[in-house]
Amino acid sequence: MRVYVDEREKGSGVPEALAELGAAVIYQRLDVGDYLVSDEVVFERKTVEDLVHSVFDGRLFDQARRLSETYPKPVIIVEGRFEKLWEKTGRAEQVRQALLAIALDHGIRVVYTRDPGDTAKVIYYTARREQVERRRPVVIHRKRRLESLREKQLYVLQSLPGVGPRLAEKLLEYFGSIEAVCNASIVELARVLGEGRAREVYRVIHAKNPGAMRRREPPRL
């Protein structure tokens, strides 16, 4: 019984717990989701803290859309004490409403677990059900093919921090091209994104890679 695990999940404790349960853990960079157990079921794992951040930076809705476009039965696992949201943030009700929205709009199942070991059990038992009982293959579905120029432009814009489908469309409509977005000032970006998100997007676009700068330096004579 195999479970394909996104490489970024190393160190979470879940892959090790899966291996202890008897699953063959195969690390691979997954385009969508964190744990793949069949051609239909994929899991996206979020700690409670990550869930909060992903709601307010827009990632959750973008991930939900991509999950539902790629697999018939996507599941989001919320790991940790969900009730602590009411202690940690005054916007806990907004998080719950966001989970309800992705369930209704994208057909996402939401499962709650206590810790990495509990998460591993949910994934393991689902893998056994899919692969052993239902004899479903494990198939890695790639991200959908982008046909139109507009789809490709929106896909690029959605790679920016905090930019989901709706904000990507607003950016493209306001600026007209990806080039114009990249050349925009923080003030201009803030008209669409708000100041905090605009500063982060501007930083990501314009930050220089020190390693790249070193490679461009002429050799010393």
- The 10s digit of each residue's pLDDT in 76-111 is 999 998 887 777 667 788 899 999 999 998 899 999
Domains 2-133 and 149-215 share a fold: no
CA dihedral of residues 130, 135, 136, 139 (deg, nearest 10): 110
Q: Does residue 115 contact residue 17 with C-beta atoms inside 8 Å?
A: no
Section 201-205 average pLDDT = 92
What pLDDT is recorded for position 124?
A: 98
Q: Evaluate whether the domain defined by 2-133 bears CATH number 3.40.47.10.
A: no
Strand intervals (E) in the chain:
2-6, 24-28, 35-36, 41-47, 73-79, 109-113
Query: What whole-number distance in Å separates Cα of residue 111 and Cα of residue 13?
Result: 18
- Where are the alpha helices (H) located in 31-115, listed in sequence order? 48-56, 59-70, 85-88, 92-106
Which range among 24-28, 69-73, 159-163, 192-196 has the greatest average pLDDT?
24-28
pLDDT tens across 100-149, in order?
999 998 899 999 999 999 999 999 999 999 999 999 998 887 655 566 89
pLDDT tens across 166-178, in order?
788 899 999 999 9
| CA–centroid distance for 151 within its chain | 19
**Residue written as token pair 């199942």:** 109
Residue 221 has pLDDT above 50, yes or no: no
More confident residue, 73 or 146: 73
Instruction: Determine the 3-state secondary structure of 57 from DSSP.
Output: coil
Domain boundaries, the chain: 2-133, 149-215
Model-level pTM? 0.66
Q: Which CATH superfamily is domain 149-215 in?
A: 5' to 3' exonuclease, C-terminal subdomain (1.10.150.20)
- Sequence-distant (≥ 6) Cβ neighbours of residue 147 within 8 angstroms: none
Q: How confident is the model at residue 218 (pLDDT cuts 50, 70, 90)?
A: low
What pLDDT is recorded for position 101?
A: 93
Write down the mean pLDDT value for the chain. 88
What pLDDT is recorded for position 142?
A: 60
Strands 41-47 and 35-36: antiparallel
What pLDDT is recorded for position 88?
A: 62
What pLDDT is recorded for position 217?
A: 55
